[in-house]
Structure 1
């Protein structure tokens, strides 16, 4: 069942402490974009020279198929990074998708916008029936309309932040499959608990809809395993509160990429990502939100280089699997720093 009646919606709006004056807000107010800052960032994009924004060689990948996924045991949790922040979980025999983005571009346009460095390790068509999709927020690199529509007929339910249910219903998704969540709202069933918890970010898919929908992260507890999935966030004290309420976590999937001084409040540096993992009381950290799209001014490999050094300094165990590689919870994994041989200064 879904708890917290404060998250219900009526014609007057949202009964949510985060919804004020027609918009959702962070717990700690952050600087909102204005025209001057937007134009300044645009000028940087056309005037600054980037170093290695995209890989010069093909990135490694482990291809997956329906039969390969079926062969994975039904008595454990298996985790597969599909690219960027998209993760496939096999949770005791049932398949969950986190922020599935299979499209060629993270963009409202099929002909323009950030293009993926490589395909996903499995196609939408080859994915098995999906028990549950979890969406962290509605930005194009996390909520992909084409992927959702391609998956919905073989998906049992989709969990979204408050307000995002409106987009899905407009797209033709049956509202009986949709569950919308406020922060700290929980869903429990026979063998799992899912909770939608705060981040420090924002939302919007076009002109005029800024912060009209909520954003956040997901806590997943199933069997003896506890997983945290960050979505996008700036560093904030909320990580400590999540850790206090739901930690410790066996695995944390933490945003580590697309950071910059011009939007430091809403995206973490790699060093802050490691600190967030520590705040959450995590055991093994997976750096996500990197290696797939060019979304900032740093090189494509900078997030992985910096997070590896920060993790070593803080004595944090990180896991940086190749896209498509299966990681099984509770079993040892030999980490490979696969990007180092592909780094270039060009």
Structure 2
């Protein structure tokens, strides 16, 4: 049984910070104290940070949460087993279930009701997952991008631990899982540009521009990453969380082109441009990666920013239409064929809610011609 000091150390992130320093000998992404981005973020005052937190807690605009129910296609295990290879299902936010080589692979699993360290507080789901956690088929691997609560849920991971063969993580994230009780033999941890082959499927951890941490003292004690997944002639890019940076072009040159890019489009704001992309930047990242089809993720499940909940979909579809890019917007639970994607419906427009234009606050509003072009 753990002692009270041990429990406090874990809760505050002291142990994780100590492990992070131990990784400095092996990773060029580590400065001896913390992991870092290729380019350091601009300095931000404590006052600005407190204002952002205050506004997020008490000054939320209308419509950051849908007023009606989102359409979700329910899934059952038998349906997944019968699905053809190279199928993809959005389960919510950045949780994606892929069927490749006859096996199942899951990204950033979060089945919790809230993306939060607390059961009763924090961003609550807009919709239930299309499939219950207990109904998921056994997984060949869970692929993690970083350790934030909206991408890594402790209870979900522990529920999956018995039926998942391997957890593939950036440096340090796997140590968190071991601390939670996941078998260390199942965990593989990687630095940027390191690769692993699992049953013929190639996975490469690639750079991202973000940060990490789950408590007071463990900021950037674990690494964050995007992932390149290669199945013979199929190439898929999964961004995790990231701001826009020159690394997309490097990844595209070294490992592209990509048949499908699964790119973050949501939870953005002008106040934190360094860690989350605006939709215009998502489109540019897709171009840099030399992507064929764009599937926007990191949206439609949690209220994590100040924008209207449906704004990411409207902006990214309008921008893609204006540039003639192929974009897929499947419903949660709807099957997408990675080898031959379809565009999907503008399902978010059917959600029962007022769609009146926001007042003049400097926030984005879709031009009429761009919206018409996206239909």
TM-score strictly above 0.5: yes
Shift in Å, 1:340:
1.6
Partner of 1:344: 354
Whether 2:49 is the aligned partner of 1:38: answer yes
Structure having the larger proportion of residues in strand: 1
1:56 partnered with 2:64:
no
- The residue correspondences of 1:223-302 to structure 2 (distance < 5 A) are 223-302=232-311
Q: Pick from 59, 63, 78 the counterpart of residue 87 of structure 2.
A: 78
Change in CA separation of 1:35 and 1:173 when aligned onto 2, cut-off 3 Å: same
Q: 1:12 to 1:26 in 2, by over 3 A?
A: closer
Worse-superposed segment, 26-35 or 51-60: 26-35
List structure 1 runs of 4+ shifted beyond 6 angstroms. none
Structure 1 residues 81 and 46: alpha-carbon distance in aligned structure 2, compared to 1, 3 A threshold? closer
Q: 1:221 to 1:12 in 2, by over 3 A?
A: closer
Question: What is the alpha-carbon distance in structure 2 between the residues aligned to residue 258 and residue 10 of structure 1?
Answer: 30
Residue 332 of structure 2 is matched in structure 1 by 323
Structure-1 separation of matches of 2:108 and 2:348: 23
Question: C-alpha distance in 2, partners of 1:103/1:165?
Answer: 20
Q: CA deviation at 1:16?
A: 0.7
CA contact (8 A) 2:21 2:221 kept: no
Matched, 1:119 2:128: yes
Instruction: Kindly indicate whether the alpha-carbon contact (under 8 Å) linking 2:293 and 2:341 is maintained by their aligned counterparts in 1.
Output: no
Q: Is the alpha carbon distance of 1:210 and 1:32 closer, same or farther for their aligned partners in structure 2, counting shifts above 3 Å?
A: farther
Number of equivalences: 336
Deviation at 1:189, TM superposition (A): 3.9
State which structure, 1 or 2, has the greater radius of gyration over its C-alpha atoms: 2
Shift of 1:307: 0.3
What is the deviation of 1:192? 1.5
Map residues 98-247 of structure 1 onto 2, 5 A cutoff.
Answer: 98-247=107-256
The answer to whether the 8 A contact 2:279-2:316 is kept is yes
1:51–1:345 contact (8 Å) kept in structure 2: no
Aligned CA distance change for structure 1 residues 49 and 332 (closer, same or farther; 3 Å):
closer
Residue of structure 1 equivalent to 2:367: none
How far does residue 36 in structure 1 lie from its aligned partner after superposition?
A: 1.7
Separation of aligned partners in 1, 2:200 and 2:159: 28
Query: How far apart are the structure 2 equivalents of 1:125 and 1:246?
Result: 35
The CA RMSD over aligned residues, in Å, is 1.6
Higher-helix-fraction structure: 2
| Cα separation, 2, equivalents of 1:34 and 1:149 | 37
**Within 2, Cα distance between the matches of 1:302 and 1:132?**
32
TM-superposed deviation, 1:188: 1.7
Q: Aligned partners of 1:34, 1:153: CA distance in 2, in Å?
A: 44
* Residue aligning to 1:16: 27
SS in 2 for 1:23: coil
* Distance of 1:219 and 1:45 partners within structure 2: 33
- Mind listing any 5+ residue stretches in structure 1 that lack a counterpart? 1-8
1:65 maps onto 2:81 in alignment:
no
Matched position secondary structure for 1:115: coil
SS across alignment from 2:268: coil
SS at match of 1:104: coil
Structure 1, 181-190 or 271-280: larger mean CA deviation: 181-190
Distance change (3 Å), C-alpha of 1:131 and 1:44 = same
* 3-state SS, counterpart of residue 165 of structure 2: strand
Unpaired segments ≥5 residues, structure 2: 1-19, 357-375
Deviation at 1:331, TM superposition (A): 2.6
CA contact (8 A) 1:192 1:222 kept: yes
Displacement of 1:320 after TM fit? 0.5
Task: After superposition, give the CA deviation of every residue in 1:227-247 in whole Å (9 maximum; x if it has no partner).
Answer: 000000000000000000110
Query: Following the alignment from structure 1 to structure 2, what is the Cα–Cα distance between the partners of residues 34 and 200?
Result: 20
